Every structure is written in C-alpha cells, then in structure tokens.
Amino acid sequence: MVFGWGKKKQEEKPVEEIPQTKEVALSDVGDIVADLEKLRESQTVSEVKRLRNNTAPLIDDLIKVGNMLEKDTLNVDDIDKHLAIIVVRGKKQVINMIKKGVVSLPEISSIDDAKKLDMSLNQLLKKVGDVLGRQTRVIHIFAKKYAAQLKDNLEVMNQNHSDIHNILQNFENTKSNSEEISNALKKINTLKSTKIEKIQKITDTNNELESAKERLASLEKSIEEIKSSDNYKKYVESKNALKLFENEKSKIKDEINTQFTKISRPLGRYEYASSLDKEQKTILTKLLESPFDVLIPENRDSIIVILENVRKGIVSDSISVKDVDKTLSQITEIEESLDGFISQVSGYFQKHQKMQDELNLLRSEKLISLETELEKVSDSKDDLELKSETFQGEVDEIDSTIPQLVSEIEKKLRSFSNTKYTVLMS
C-alpha cells in the first residue's frame, strides 16, 4: 500500500508433522466429520476472537492519534500560505476519516460475528488506506511524529485482518469439504441400496431364465416326439411334393407369357385407344402384366373379345404394327391355344388346392401350437439373458464407483486434521 503497511512479516516455515494414521468404518465417517467440523468452528471462533481482541486496542490508538492530530497546529503558520491550505485540508480529511470510519469492533461469539468482523475491518482499512494514501505527503512531511505510529498500527491491523480472513476462508473450505463428504456418503448409501435392488433383480431374472430354459427343453422334446411320428413324415413328404409341384407354375407361366409377349405392343396400344368397361379394362391390364393370373374360364369370352377387337384395330390401321400378317397370325395362334392355356392354369390350381388340402389334413395343430410357444419362450429367454447382463453391468459399475467415492472421502478428511484416515467399507 502507498502509506507503507502492506509488507507482511516473514512467516516461519512450520515444522512438518508426521501424520497419524487411523482406520475408521464408513458408517462412522458422518459422525467424525460432524465432530471435526464442530471442533474447527470452535477453533475458528476462538482464534478470530483472539485476533479481534488484539486489534481492538489499535482502534483506540487510531482514535487517540486522530484526537491529537486535531489539536496539533502542525505549525502551519510557519509555512507558505498556499501550502498551509493543502496541509490543513489534508489534516481535516484524515481527522474526519478517523472520526467517521474508525469504529469499535463487534464482539465475537459465533461464525456470523466473525464474518461481520472481517467485513467491518475490510471497510475500515479501505477507508483509512484511501485517505492516508492521498495524504501520505502531508502526514510524512508535516506530521512525522504521527506517521510512524500510524504505519505500525495499521500494519498490525492489516495483518490481523488478513489472518482473520484466511482463518474464515479455511473454515469455509472445511464446510465445503464437509458437505462434499456428506454428499459422497449419501451417494454411497444410495448406490448400496441400488446394488441390493439390482442383485435381487438379477436373482429374479436368473430364476425366470432357468424356468424359460426348462420350458424350452420340454417344448423341444415334445416337438421332437411329434416330428418322429409317421404322420409327420407323411406331412413332410406332402409338403416337399407341394413345393416341387409349385415349380410347374413357373413353367406354365413362362409359356403363356411368351405367347402374349408377342402381341404386347398392339395390346398396349389398344388399351390407350379403346373405351372398355371396368371388367375388361382390368383383364386387359392383367394380360399385359401377367396373363397367367386372368386365364380362367370366367374370363375366356372377355379375352376373346379383346383379342378380336385388337385384330380389327390392326386391320383398320387404328392400331399400327410393323408386320400386320405376322401379328394377326400370332393373335390367331393365341386364340387357338387359349382353351389349352385356361385348362393348364385351371388344372394347376385344382391340383395345387387338392395337394394343399391333403397337407392341411396332415398338419398337426399341436405341433403348430408348440412351435409358436417355442418361438415366444425363445424370445423371452433372449430378453432375460440381456436383462441379467444389463443388471450385472450396473452392479459392476457400482462396485467400481464406491471405492472411488471412499478414496475422495479419505482425501477430504485430511483437510480436517493431521490424522490420515483409512476408511473401511465393510
């Protein structure tokens, strides 16, 4: 500071103490922290009170200096009158500051009192420092006999205030650490409760899983018994026969498609150029897309009508083709083959339906029910396995988190005392 009391005394380096070690149960940490915080609060109040009592006489000294300075003329009559005005004004500012700013210190009986003292001293020293800083030349030149006393007095007051502030800051750090330890203990208790719940869920889930596995084994055995029966073997043979027969559909379909592809262009042009009823429009569209699907007896006459109308369109040039004779010949060929195609398609579907009916008679409703249940139980087993793994992962996470929290508690306990605590989790 400008006035000269800002230098701190050289602090002696404390002798490093060898910390004591002590093992404590996790359940006792809360009480230990509460006792240590209470002790630290008592020590803090006591130390601040001591510093306050050491500072109070200095306040009285400041007031006395103010009174003496007020009565001292400083021999201003012997100096230049312009300079005398500056000295008198400076003297007045210092006196007014002491009268208004230097007040008695509050008594200390609690932490709140200590905080008020810290604030009061801070304001007092700031006011004194500001005024004496501005009037430092006046004091050092014209009031030398007061300068040293003020300097020594305020240096001690400033040091005391700094000590008070640091002591209170240390106590706030202690409270902060105490709260953090308390929060860590709460979190550990919550994690322990959660772990118990998760372990119970693992047990329940694993029990369900064992039941599911037993049910799966029972279902597989029942299904195997059915599949080993003669009736099931006949069912498999019929199913394979039906699948093999279904290949005939592709052959018939390819043959029919090959024929109708030959006249797809005139059929397409007829579709856009003609006015057809809804039924014929649907049949014509299918003839272009998949003629196999409409070659049934009920559609025969409509198909003949469509083919003949296409023929007429070609002959009348309303439907243009590259080779008229060839196209007309292809239409004739399709008309002549139409009954055969329809017979092939109808025969295929009739035989397919017959084979399907026979297969349905051989199908075991019990087997279907068992296989449906098997799929459900299998899905349930997979879900249970995933749940069990998830719960176990959460338990493992808790098991790794709790030791970390305990380690943090041990570190924060070191801020309370020289004792090195080892926290036992059992």
Q: Give the pLDDT confidence of 269-314 residue by residue, as tens digits.
A: 887 756 667 788 888 888 888 899 899 999 999 899 888 888 888 8
Average pLDDT over residues 317-336: 88
> Could you give the C-alpha distances from 53 to 31, 105, 165, 347, in angstroms and in order?
33, 9, 15, 119
Residue 380 DSSP symbol: H
Give the pair of three-digit tokens for residue 391.
Answer: 């719960």
Residue 97 has φ and ψ, to the nearest 5°, of -60, -45
Q: How confident is the model at residue 316 (pLDDT cuts 50, 70, 90)?
A: confident
Q: Report the predicted TM-score, pTM, of the whole model to 2 decimal places.
A: 0.60
Give the DSSP H or E segment for 370.
helix 365-413
Structure confidence at residue 134 (pLDDT)? 61
**Residue labelled with tokens 């420092």:** 129
Task: Please enumerate, as own/partner, the contacts of 21-24 that have beta carbons within 8 Å and a separation of 24 or more.
Answer: 21/419, 21/420, 21/421, 21/422, 22/419, 22/420, 22/421, 22/422, 23/421, 23/422, 23/423, 23/424, 24/421, 24/422, 24/423, 24/424
DSSP 8-state secondary structure symbol assigned to residue 109: S
The identity of residue 130, as a single letter, is D
Q: Tell whether the model's pLDDT for residue 67 goes beyond 80.
A: no
- pLDDT for residue 8: 47
Helix (H) or strand (E) holding 168, with range, is helix 144-227
With bands split at pLDDT 50, 70 and 90, how would you rate the model's confidence at 350?
very high
Q: Determine whether 85 is exposed, middle or buried from the number of CB atoms within 10 Å of its CB (0-12, 13-18, 19+).
A: exposed
Q: How confident is the model at residue 209 (pLDDT cuts 50, 70, 90)?
A: very high
Q: Where are the domains of the chain?
A: 27-182, 230-363
Average pLDDT over residues 244-263: 89
